[in-house]
Amino acid sequence: MIVSFKHQFVFIKNTKTGGTSIELSLSRFCGAEDIVTPVAANDELLRPAGAIKPQRYQKPFPWKYSLQDFYRYATDETVRKQGINLYGPHSHAADVKNHLGAAVWNSLFKFTVERNPWDKAVSAYFFHRHLKNPDLDFEQFIREKSFYNSSSIYTDVNGQLLVDKVIRFEHLADELSEVCRQLHIPYDGLLPSAKGNLRKEKKHYREYYTDELKNIVADKCKNVIDLMGYTF
């Protein structure tokens, strides 16, 4: 997550949408007063030379940014409600708004990235299997888990958007470039390849689904599908 007073924007980092890569790239353009949150230690090695490192994120984390702890703190609702994850990697827009205050929040351009839920669920499955259970079956994951719908990061309790722009992961390069032009950020298209090696199988996401599993994701992610107009 980034709050840039220098360029007047807030980047709300969604899950499984290339957020770490965006964060690392945009940190090159941040100033000394901007808020830049930590990334996992192995991803930190990808931060470009001269970029602003994690700073001013208010609350220290009781962990050392391992992938396992990153996963736990990014998905644990109880931890988030306790405020430990304030200004953390996946800070919720509502929390950031409350902390900054409405006047400051409203003066900044807020954006995030979302991804086709069926594709995102496959990516989340491999991430979860890598961190938690390497023998986890895809069908079991789809039936039992739902955190691949992470829209609560950028919406309020009524499901209304708290950001000004939701970039589509499928058009990430073009839409991020357009946002940066709007903000007068000299973005050059650089996106460090973070967390891109967890999925060894390169099948198209549709190949993982039966009709029943497809419908389960459609039900669990109905709000995102309605908001973004995604189809299977």
108/189 Cα distance (integer angstroms): 22
The encoded tokens of residue 65 equal 């940014």
In DSSP terms, 113 is beta-bridged to 167
pLDDT of residue 65: 44
Q: What SS3 class is residue 184?
A: coil
CA–CA separation, 165 and 182 (whole Å) = 12
Say what the pLDDT of residue 130 is.
84
Which CATH architecture describes the domain 2-228? 3-Layer(aba) Sandwich (3.40)
pLDDT at 16: 94
| Domain spans of the chain, in order of start | 2-228
Q: Is 24 helix (H, G, I), strand (E, B) or coil?
A: helix
pLDDT in tens, the chain (232 residues): 999 999 999 999 999 999 999 999 999 999 999 999 988 888 999 999 999 999 988 654 444 444 455 445 554 555 445 444 456 678 899 989 988 999 999 999 999 999 999 999 999 999 888 878 888 999 999 999 998 999 999 999 899 999 999 999 999 999 999 999 999 999 999 999 886 666 677 799 999 999 999 999 999 999 999 999 999 9
Helix ranges restricted to H, the chain? 19-26, 41-44, 67-75, 77-81, 93-100, 102-107, 117-131, 138-144, 172-182, 211-220, 222-228
Q: How high is the pLDDT of residue 191? A: 95
pLDDT given at position 64: 45
- Alpha-carbon distance of 39 to 90, in angstroms, equals 10
pLDDT attached to residue 122: 96
pTM of the shown model: 0.87
